[in-house]
Amino acid sequence: MTVTQTLRGLLRRWYILVVGLVVAIAVAAGVWSAVPPTYTRTSTQILLPGSGMIPSGSNPYLFVGGLAPAADIIVRGLGSKNVIEEVVQGRAGTTVQVARDQTTSGPVILITVESTSDRDAAAVLSAMNQRTASLLDSLQAEENIPERRRISVVAVSVDKRGTAEQKKRLMMTGASGAAVLALSVLVASFVDGAVLRRRRARRAAQSDEDTASDEPALDGPPDSEKGPGPDGATRSEESAQADDESGETSGPDATAAAGEESSKGHRAESEEDSSTDEASDGADGSEDTDGVDAQSLGDRDPARTDDPEQTAVRPQADQGSSLSRSAASPVDPAEDTDLPDRRGDRGERAPIG
């Protein structure tokens, strides 16, 4: 599926997108209200040498260069897991970070507190500042360092108001809204694909039904090929029966029958010629002769007439009729030799006058 087809499908299911957009806005608003902003407060402290470590009346900030190792020790002590858990106990969503300020080269300690409540952030930051001074005093007291030579800690800056950060809130709100929108797009695509597949299946089924209704029935032959008989025989069956009958006469029997039909045709033609001559001679003969000839001709051709034109056409018709009779009832050549010659039985008569 191309991008264009996907966009067209989404446009067809725009109502799903509209519902998804509304739901996404509602979910985003709910997440925005449910997730509070993060309040951040920071404090900066610097270590100063004791009055007994610097000349009398000198500026202590000019002698802070050698206190960087002491700042690292304080950072280690304050940043331990035990101290942080003890300070933030009972304040959910509050985190503390203790590190040296990397923006300066002096012994500056940076404490950062983040909490979902600005009040909790202020309380934790105040407790961490106090922990810095107490930790430093306890470490020096353990070493029995005189008061005038002990290092002191001074707060440089402490936030009086927390800074609300919306980064986490925006991330969660945007992620929830985007997830709902993506889900709505997937649902729209799925619905569009399902509808299109169902529509194609319906069209295919309708097309198959139309094709089946247009095709002729293959269970039997058309009505035009059915025979008129009561037994329901068809013309195709009659044609097949005729082919079977013609197939039975093929072979040597068919060849003998064809030869027999040819010989009978020539014999019938010669008889017709002789009959024509006798008819013309009988016009001048006696009545007995005419009676005998007429009887002989009548025996051979009952449909014979005295018209010369019909007599001239008759041999061809008789030849065709003899061929059809031979095809219908073939005669054995052995039996044909026993037949008497009609011309010999009739005899030759000399013309009269």
Q: Provide the CATH number for the domain around residue 136.
A: 3.30.70.600
pLDDT of residue 214 exceeding 70: no
Average pLDDT, the chain: 72
pTM of the predicted protein model: 0.50
On whether both 118 and 135 belong to a single domain, the answer is: yes
DSSP annotation string for 253-282 = HHHHHHHHHHHHHHHHHHHHHHHHHHHHHT
Residues 115 and 180 placed together within one structural domain of the fold = no
Decide if 216 is inside a domain. Answer: no
Task: Give the position of tokens 């008129």.
Answer: 228
For residue 225, tell me if it sits in a domain.
no
What is the tens place of the pLDDT at every residue in 3-39? 787 788 778 888 888 999 999 999 999 999 988 889 9
d(CA 301, CA 278): 14
pLDDT reading at 243 higher than 90: no
Query: How many independent structural domains does the chain possess?
Result: 2
Distance CA 96, CA 128 (A): 9
pLDDT at position 229: 46
Please check whether residue 313 lies inside any domain of the structure. Answer: no
The answer to which of 11-25, 209-223, 249-263 has the lowest mean pLDDT is 249-263
Whether residues 50 and 150 fall in one domain: yes
Whether the pLDDT of residue 221 is over 60: the answer is: no
CA distance 143 to 135: 13
Q: Which of 60-69, 112-121, 323-332 has the lowest mean pLDDT?
A: 323-332
Between 227 and 52, the more confident residue is 52
Angle CA 248–250–252, to nearest 5: 115
Residues 77 and 60 in one domain: yes
Confidence label for 205 from pLDDT (cuts 50, 70 and 90): confident
Who wins on pLDDT, 112 or 289?
112
Is the same domain home to 8 and 153?
A: no
15 plus 50 within the same structural domain: no
CA separation for the pair 30, 176 (Å, rounded)? 10
Tell me if 152 is assigned to some domain: yes
- Looking at the structure, do residues 57 and 151 belong to the same domain, yes or no? yes
CB contact set of 319 (below 8 Å; sequence gap of 6+): 265, 268, 269
Domain boundaries, position 15: 3-33+168-199
Please tell me the predicted confidence (pLDDT) of residue 331: 46
Give a yes or no: residue 264 inside a domain. Answer: no
Q: What is the mean pLDDT of residues 63-86?
A: 90
Q: What six digits make up the tokens of 9?
A: 């499908």
Look at residue 123 in the predicted model and tell me its pLDDT: 93
Asked, for residue 10, whether it belongs to a domain, the answer is yes
Q: Are residues 194 and 45 in the same domain?
A: no
For residue 353, the one-letter residue type is: G
pLDDT at residue 115 is higher than 50: yes
Looking at per-residue pLDDT, the higher value among 192 and 241 belongs to 192
What sign results for the dihedral spanned by CA atoms 307, 309, 310, 311? positive
In this structure, is residue 309 part of a structural domain? no
Please check whether residue 124 lies inside any domain of the structure: yes
Answer yes or no: do 48 and 28 share one domain.
no
**Tens digit of each residue's pLDDT (9 = 90 or more) over 311-325:** 444 444 444 444 444
- Is the pLDDT reported for residue 289 higher than 70? no
- Let me know whether 153 and 191 are in one domain: no
- Same domain, yes or no: 113 and 180: no
For the chain, state the CA radius of gyration. Answer: 66
> Final residue of a domain: which of 199, 222, 250?
199
DSSP code at position 50: -
222-238 average pLDDT score: 47
